[in-house]
């Protein structure tokens, strides 16, 4: 069945349009007035042999009958009567057409098709209203002002950034119709709003403590730091302290680290005992404190931070979080401990894809990134990347992800400077380019800072 809806200034013109579109066998389904015009909906059933009804006399009879019906309906509409539903009107048309012995449409198919049309029109209206509301909000915020900005927004979403950060970012970008240039501005904005430590976590002699949830890699990070400090400054200058009384094997793990490295390891049960131990270790230049983990949203970590701040020794406290955690959890914890800790240590970067969640949490919380870890090797897999390196690494990880190569991803997320990615391993950058191709590895900076380039080998 084929249906046709026409709008004309009068009924005669509308019927002529119906005849021209559907032919002589068209059946009028409805007739309404809309904004001073006549609306007629008609249909034709292709199952009927149209050749049997192609006579001018039949068309004129049917045309006059339809005109009489429309006139009678118009006079009824002028009288105050109860509005009739569409189903009754369809039955009236069907009965009338069957009395004229013309090609008619069965009642059930008409009702089914009309119901389907109403449903489709409803869905179309909902889609248009939704699009209009989004367009209005976007115009008010002046966010997606061009196709280039929309393309940059899509790239940022693929990198793992949420809309709550993308919209303010796009508002800060200059007006530009070139997607490549706008992408460079977007990466520069990310670099300018990321705070990283060029000196590293351990930049001078003192006491350093890592706090954070269970399983984020605090003990492993302590072992890596202790190994690098011992190799650079000497074993007698470094000591490790464990405050973890909850995790099974925590003491043994740190003790094994100390035995392998030849570093003194002490275990304390509380802050009073920690104070006593620190007094006894005044001759040590670098003291690293490993704390117990727990539920990140319980008061346990806050109690640890408050207790460490209350010790009569200057302790540099760093919040340790796994990069592969949920972005809203990272953001909440970073904001909560802002001003209480010196910065953030991001672990497990080799297990995190994409990296936008970590970068967004750092930008929104304004916490400085002090150190990263990207593997389990001691003393390797430790770094102090600059904001430029971090953004470039996040972009390359997303592009490598698009290529779908698990081997390339593995090499990218866990690669040492001595073994840079070759041309065959790098992702094909088909879309938007990165800022600079010579930003280096995430692990270049710690080698320079610690003077341990010769030790970074497999």
Better-predicted residue by pLDDT, 66 or 458: 66
Specify which of 10-19, 50-59, 363-372, 406-415 reaches the highest per-range mean pLDDT.
363-372
DSSP codes, 104-134: ---HHHHHHHHHHHHHHHHHHHHHHHHHHHH
Please say which residue of 118, 136, 152 terminates a domain: 118
Does residue 245 form part of some domain?
yes
pLDDT at 209: 93
Does residue 178 form part of some domain?
no
pLDDT tens for each residue of 325-346: 988 999 999 999 999 999 999 9
Strands 286-290 and 238-242: parallel
pLDDT at 424: 36
Lowest mean pLDDT among 3-7, 91-95, 339-343: 91-95
Better-predicted residue by pLDDT, 43 or 124: 43
Better-predicted residue by pLDDT, 200 or 330: 330
Residue 405 has pLDDT above 90, yes or no: no
Better-predicted residue by pLDDT, 128 or 55: 128
pLDDT at 247: 66
Tell me the C-alpha to C-alpha distance, in Å, between residue 417 and each of 197, 221, 229, 235, 363.
Answer: 20, 19, 20, 26, 27
Does residue 89 form part of some domain?
yes
Looking at the chain, the whole-number percentage of residues with pLDDT higher than 90 is: 21
Residue 455 has pLDDT above 60, yes or no: no
Shared domain for 302 and 398, answered yes or no, is yes
Shared domain for 228 and 347, answered yes or no, is yes
pLDDT at 434: 43
pLDDT tens for each residue of 384-404: 888 999 999 888 888 877 666
For residue 61, what are the domain limits?
2-118
Shared domain for 245 and 374, answered yes or no, is yes
Average pLDDT over residues 66-93: 53
Tell me the C-alpha to C-alpha distance, in Å, between residue 226 and each of 208, 266, 335.
Answer: 11, 13, 28
Shared domain for 277 and 400, answered yes or no, is yes
What is the model's pTM?
A: 0.61
Residue 316 has pLDDT above 90, yes or no: yes
Name the band, by pLDDT with cuts 50, 70 and 90, for residue 411.
low
Residue 57 has pLDDT above 70, yes or no: no
Average pLDDT over residues 149-175: 87
Shared domain for 99 and 237, answered yes or no, is no
Name the band, by pLDDT with cuts 50, 70 and 90, for residue 151.
confident
Shared domain for 213 and 108, answered yes or no, is no
Phi, psi of 209 (to 5 degrees): -130, 140
Residue 80 has pLDDT above 70, yes or no: no
pLDDT at 298: 85
Name the band, by pLDDT with cuts 50, 70 and 90, for residue 369.
very high
Strands 382-383 and 369-373: antiparallel
Residue 141 has pLDDT above 60, yes or no: no
Report the b/e string of 58-72 with b at 16+ CB within 10 A: bbeebbebbeebbee
Please say which residue of 70, 92, 118 terminates a domain: 118
Average pLDDT over residues 161-176: 87
Does residue 162 form part of some domain?
no
Better-predicted residue by pLDDT, 426 or 364: 364
The contacts found for 305-308 with CB under 8 angstroms, 24 or more apart, are 305/211, 305/337, 305/340, 305/341, 307/271, 308/209, 308/211, 308/271
Name the band, by pLDDT with cuts 50, 70 and 90, for residue 96.
very low
Q: Which CATH number covers residue 268? A: 3.40.50.300
Shared domain for 75 and 211, answered yes or no, is no
Average pLDDT over residues 121-146: 58
pLDDT tens for each residue of 99-122: 544 444 444 556 777 887 777 776
Better-predicted residue by pLDDT, 397 or 440: 397
Does residue 131 form part of some domain?
no
Does residue 166 form part of some domain?
no
Shared domain for 114 and 260, answered yes or no, is no
Mean pLDDT of the residues in the chain: 75
Average pLDDT over residues 200-204: 80
Other beta carbons within 10 Å of 433: 13
Q: How many domains does the chain have?
A: 2
Tell me the C-alpha to C-alpha distance, in Å, between residue 95 and each of 85, 103, 179, 216.
Answer: 16, 12, 63, 77
Does residue 426 form part of some domain?
yes
Average pLDDT over residues 271-282: 91
Does residue 67 form part of some domain?
yes
Strand partners, 42: 4, 28
Residue 161 has pLDDT above 80, yes or no: yes
Average pLDDT over residues 258-272: 86
Name the band, by pLDDT with cuts 50, 70 and 90, for residue 126.
low
Please say which residue of 83, 118, 153 terminates a domain: 118
Looking at the chain, the whole-number percentage of residues with pLDDT higher than 70 is: 66
Name the band, by pLDDT with cuts 50, 70 and 90, for residue 264.
confident
């Amino acid at each position: 069945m084929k249906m046709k809806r026409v709008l004309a200034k009068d009924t005669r013109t509308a019927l002529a349009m119906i005849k021209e579109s559907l032919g002589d066998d068209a059946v009028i389904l409805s007739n309404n007035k809309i904004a001073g015009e006549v609306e007629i909906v008609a249909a034709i059933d292709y199952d009927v042999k149209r050749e049997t009804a192609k006579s001018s006399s039949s068309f004129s009879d049917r045309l006059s009958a339809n005109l009489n019906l429309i006139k009678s309906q118009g006079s009824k509409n002028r009288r105050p009567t109860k509005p009739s539903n569409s189903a009754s009107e369809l039955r009236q048309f069907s009965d009338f057409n069957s009395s004229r012995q013309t090609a008619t449409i069965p009642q059930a198919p008409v009702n089914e098709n009309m119901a389907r049309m109403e449903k489709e029109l409803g869905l179309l209206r909902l889609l248009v209203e939704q699009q209009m509301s989004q367009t209005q909000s976007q115009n008010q915020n002046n966010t997606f002002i061009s196709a280039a900005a929309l393309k940059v927004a899509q790239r940022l979403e693929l990198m793992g950034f949420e809309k709550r950060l993308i919209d303010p970012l796009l508002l800060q970008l200059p007006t530009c119709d070139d997607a490549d240039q706008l992408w460079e501005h977007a990466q520069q904005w990310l670099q300018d709003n990321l705070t990283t430590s060029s000196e590293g976590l351990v930049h001078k002699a003192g006491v350093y403590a890592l706090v954070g949830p269970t399983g984020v890699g605090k003990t492993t990070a302590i072992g890596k730091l202790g190994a690098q400090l011992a190799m650079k400054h000497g074993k007698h200058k470094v000591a490790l302290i464990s405050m973890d009384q909850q995790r099974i094997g925590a003491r043994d793990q740190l003790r094994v680290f100390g035995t392998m490295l030849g570093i003194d390891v002490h275990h304390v049960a509380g802050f009073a005992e920690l104070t006593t131990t620190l007094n006894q270790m005044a001759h040590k230049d670098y003291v690293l404190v490993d704390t117990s983990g727990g539920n990140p949203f319980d008061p346990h970590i806050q109690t640890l931070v408050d207790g460490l701040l209350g010790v009569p020794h200057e302790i540099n406290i760093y919040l340790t979080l796994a990069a592969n955690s949920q972005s809203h959890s990272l953001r909440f914890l970073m904001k909560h401990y802002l001003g209480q800790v010196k910065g953030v240590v991001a672990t497990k970067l080799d297990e995190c894809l994409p990296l936008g969640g970590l970068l967004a949490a750092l930008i929104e919380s304004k916490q400085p990134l002090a150190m990263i870890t990207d593997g389990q090797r001691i003393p390797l897999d430790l770094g102090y990347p600059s904001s430029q390196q971090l953004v470039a690494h996040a972009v390359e990880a997303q592009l490598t992800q698009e290529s779908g190569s698990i081997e390339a991803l593995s090499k990218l997320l866990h690669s040492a400077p001595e073994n840079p990615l070759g041309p065959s391993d790098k992702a094909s950058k088909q879309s938007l380019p990165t800022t600079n191709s010579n930003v280096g590895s995430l692990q270049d900076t710690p080698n320079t800072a610690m003077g341990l380039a010769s030790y970074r080998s497999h």
